[in-house]
């Protein structure tokens, strides 16, 4: 970006005013300006009477000039930034020899391709603290898939959207620049495929994340909370082996469904999750989830698991 240059010509001007048969003299520090309407004078500050005075008064005068000039510095900066008089800058540039001076009309400036960066930077800081790149790499997830997973997590954290709407949000954030990945042609299919890659490795990933979170946030490990929900499919769901008819919390007993179990600790951190067959009875799920939880985080004596009463226990 080019710098702005303006030449300032200043001089001391003597003024006199008569009042009650007495003449008062005052000296002004004046700036000479060139405008389309001709030369103009702008008073910087009043120096008072500069007639010869005792030596001990010289320092006082010098400090007064310095103080007044300091107060005027901000005024100069504002004037240069906000000036609408294009002719003044052109004249100043010619005197200063600046050949790259341009005039910008602020009301005609627009910005394009905005990128949200602040929230993304915060989210990425915790992504790094949780060592998620290392965890996913050790789970044999590719570099590209790691970056896609990171982008999806940032969306869930900042402005949750469906996989269908997520590519637009990703392109509107600063993720391309920060992650060094081209998302210009990203589609929802890429995100669905990424979830397919993560799902078989969920046990290994959840176990590793739980270990890092426990140390990073000093999490309580004495109480776990367990609950179930379900989600149904429109259609036969023939490609989903776990899609079965069962008790529907959505009042859609005519649709195949899956049952999802989630365990969190008392601080709200997820410890484990599992997708069960849609026809699994609620009362039979806690035992299976406890075995799974023990394999991922290691249950110990003295730990309590609280189960929602809707599970039939």
Predicted local confidence at residue 313, as pLDDT: 44
- Same domain for 14 and 99, yes or no, is yes
- Same domain for 91 and 129, yes or no, is no
User: pLDDT tens, 150-162?
Assistant: 999 999 999 999 9
- Same domain for 20 and 97, yes or no, is yes
Q: Write the CATH number for 261.
A: 3.30.420
Q: Which of these three, 76, 108, 140, is where a domain ends?
A: 108
Predicted local confidence at residue 23, as pLDDT: 82
Rg (CA), the chain: 36
Which residues of the chain are modeled with pLDDT < 50?
Answer: 1-7, 84, 311-313
Q: Which of 303, 288, 300, 296 is nearest to 270 (CA)?
A: 296
**Residue 88, domain extent:** 9-108
Q: Which of these three, 108, 129, 159, is where a domain ends?
A: 108
| 229 within domain boundaries | yes
| 193 within domain boundaries | yes
Predicted local confidence at residue 6, as pLDDT: 44
Quick check: helix, strand or coil at residue 115? Answer: coil
Predicted local confidence at residue 155, as pLDDT: 93
What pTM does this model have?
0.60
Measure the CA–CA gap between 20 and 154, rounded to whole angstroms. Answer: 78
Cβ contact 255:248 at 8 Å: yes
Predicted local confidence at residue 17, as pLDDT: 83
- Same domain for 184 and 251, yes or no, is no
**172, 214, 257, 272, 297 from 166: Cα distances, Å:** 10, 30, 25, 25, 31
| 213 within domain boundaries | no
- Same domain for 233 and 191, yes or no, is no
Q: Report the number of distinct structural domains present in the chain.
A: 3
Q: Which of 30, 24, 29 is nearest to 51 (CA)?
A: 24
| 72 within domain boundaries | yes
**144, 170, 231, 297, 309 from 185: Cα distances, Å:** 14, 11, 31, 39, 47
């Amino acid at each position: 970006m080019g710098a702005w240059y303006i030449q300032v010509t200043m001089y001391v001007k003597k003024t006199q005013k008569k009042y009650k048969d007495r003449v008062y003299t005052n000296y002004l520090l004046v700036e000479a300006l060139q405008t389309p309407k001709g030369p103009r004078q702008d008073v910087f500050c009043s120096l008072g009477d500069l007639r010869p005075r005792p030596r001990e008064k010289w320092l006082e005068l010098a400090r007064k000039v310095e103080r007044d000039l300091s107060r005027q510095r901000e005024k100069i900066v504002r004037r240069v930034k906000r000036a609408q008089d294009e002719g003044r800058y052109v004249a100043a540039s010619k005197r200063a020899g600046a050949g790259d001076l341009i005039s910008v009309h602020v009301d005609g400036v627009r910005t394009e391709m905005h990128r949200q960066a602040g929230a993304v930077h915060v989210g990425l800081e915790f992504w790094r603290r949780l060592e998620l790149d290392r965890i996913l790499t050790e789970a044999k997830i590719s570099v590209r898939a790691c970056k896609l997973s990171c982008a999806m997590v940032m969306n869930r954290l900042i402005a949750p959207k469906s996989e269908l709407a997520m590519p637009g949000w990703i392109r509107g954030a600063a993720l391309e620049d920060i992650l060094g990945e081209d998302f210009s042609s990203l589609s929802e299919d890429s995100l669905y495929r990424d979830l397919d890659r993560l799902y078989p490795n969920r046990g290994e990933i959840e176990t590793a994340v739980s270990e890092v979170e426990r140390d990073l946030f000093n999490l309580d490990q004495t109480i776990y909370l367990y609950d179930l929900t379900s989600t149904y499919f429109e259609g036969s769901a023939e490609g989903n082996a776990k899609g079965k008819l069962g008790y529907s919390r959505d009042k859609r007993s005519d649709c195949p469904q899956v049952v999802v179990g989630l365990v969190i600790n008392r601080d709200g951190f997820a410890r484990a999750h599992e997708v069960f067959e849609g026809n699994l009875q609620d009362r039979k799920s806690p035992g299976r989830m406890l075995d799974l939880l023990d394999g991922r985080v290691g249950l110990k004596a003295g730990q309590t698991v609280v189960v929602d009463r809707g599970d039939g226990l």
